[in-house]
Amino acid sequence: MQHTDQLSPAQAMLAVILEHDNIVIAAHGSPDGDAIGATGAMAYLLKQLGKTIALYNATGIPEYLEWVPLPGRVYTKPSQLPFRPGLIIALDCGDVWRLGKEMNAVFADYPSISIDHHLSNPLFASLGNWVDPHMAATGQMVAAVADAANIPLTGELAQCVYLSLVSDTGSFTHGNTSAAVFELAARLVAGGLDAAAIREKLDNQWSLPKTRLWGKLLQELRIECDGEVALCSVTLDEIASFGAVREDLEGFAEQMRRIKKVRVAVLIRQDPGNRYKLSMRSSGQDDVRTVAARFGGGGHLNAAGATIDSSDMQGVIMQTLEAVRSISLKPVESL
């Protein structure tokens, strides 16, 4: 076999994959479209290579992505896996803890590789780490592995890659939408992908509880920093009062960013156990990733998040606004 330092990153990942079987494909918990898309794309790729696979996600598939054509069950506990892992492929996972507490506890017991595009990734996999922050989506990287294996980007594999691209580029509107992203999307469509059908599945499946929850939150969101920051906080009781679930807030921070003049949008969601989930979106060079890092989180320049342990919502709001101000925004008005 050719020495790995002579291979491209995608070829190097493929070389490791070809040497192993009984492969577990795992992405970060509370998965977004890129995590699920990359998982599905890798699964179809490995099946075409004749590998035995299992899909893993600590929190399962969110309801809004249940339509994604995954080739098999998604396991949520390592003890459920149908075989002892010969290799774990960690996808779209900026650190090993994002795989969930139980997988984190056993991850080092098995050979592993990581394919990811988060700048903060500490290179935690044992057999190889391909981390490229210039890639718009992890699914884009999986497509490169498929190309290295001469596997066509068609059918369900193409659908999953396209889901990744759409999700992490904001439907080709974020600053990470490069010429390479458009070229890959064009290849997928040329290969028979129905892009309109995927858009339909992503957009037109809102529940009435979600719709009513968003309506309330849009009325109550606050504008700070002379109109440059939009912030909204929501408790578990508020979510439940509409019959909604936490996953129904996916995309809400992005919606707030659409307000004229807003540079940074912040959603603070209460979670069980005195925890708060912080989701942030920004425009241009406003680096919300550095804000997330203050709280032990991470992400990308214009999309990042963190979890804050606290029993005080107002305290979390103050901490977050102060951290947002630190990325060169105007002074925060007193609450």
Mean per-residue pLDDT over the chain, rounded: 94
C-alpha torsion 3→5→10→13, nearest 10: 60
Confidence of residue 327 (pLDDT cuts 50, 70, 90): confident
Residues 150 and 182 in one domain: yes
- Rounded CA gap, 306 and 269, in Å? 11
Whether 74 maps to a domain, the answer reads yes
For residues 8 and 142, give the distance between their C-alpha atoms in angstroms, rounded to a whole number.
13
In 10 A of CB 258, how many CB atoms? 10
Does residue 313 belong to any structural domain of this protein?
yes
Return phi, psi of residue 198, to 5°. -70, -40
* Residue 234 shares a structural domain with residue 198: no
| β-bridge pairing 128-131 and 222-224 | unpaired
Give the bridge partners for 265, in sequence order: 230, 281
- Where among 184, 202, 220 does a domain terminate? 202
User: 125 and 27 in one domain?
Assistant: yes
Residues 278-295: pLDDT tens digits? 999 998 889 999 999 999
Kindly state whether residues 44 and 65 are assigned to the same domain. Answer: yes
Look at residue 194 and tell me if it is in a domain: yes
219 pLDDT above the threshold of 60: yes
Q: Select from 58, 49, 56, 55 the least CA-distant residue to 17.
A: 49
What confidence category does residue 330 fall into, taking pLDDT thresholds of 50, 70 and 90?
Answer: low
Do 193 and 218 belong to one domain? no
Number of structural domains the chain divides into: 2
**316 and 188 fall within a common domain:** no
Give residue 328's pLDDT.
66
The number of helices, as runs of H, and strands, as runs of E, in the chain is 12, 12
Contact between residue 95 and residue 298 where contact means Cβ atoms under 8 Å apart: yes
Mean pLDDT of 176-200: 96
Residue 1 clears pLDDT 70, i.e. is over it: no
Is the Cβ–Cβ distance between 118 and 300 less than 8 Å?
yes
Residues 6+ apart with CB under 8 A from 212: 242, 244
pLDDT the model gives residue 335: 42
Whether 217 has a pLDDT exceeding 70, the answer reads: yes
Please tell me whether the overall predicted TM-score, pTM, comes out greater than 0.85 for this model. Answer: yes
Write out pLDDT tens, residues 126-174: 999 999 999 999 999 999 999 999 999 999 999 999 999 999 998 998 8
CATH of the domain at 229: 3.10.310.30
d(CA 169, CA 137): 8
Please check whether residues 121 and 267 belong to one and the same domain.
Answer: no
Q: Which domain holds residue 41?
A: 4-202
CATH number for position 76: 3.90.1640.10
Beta bridge partners of 271: 275
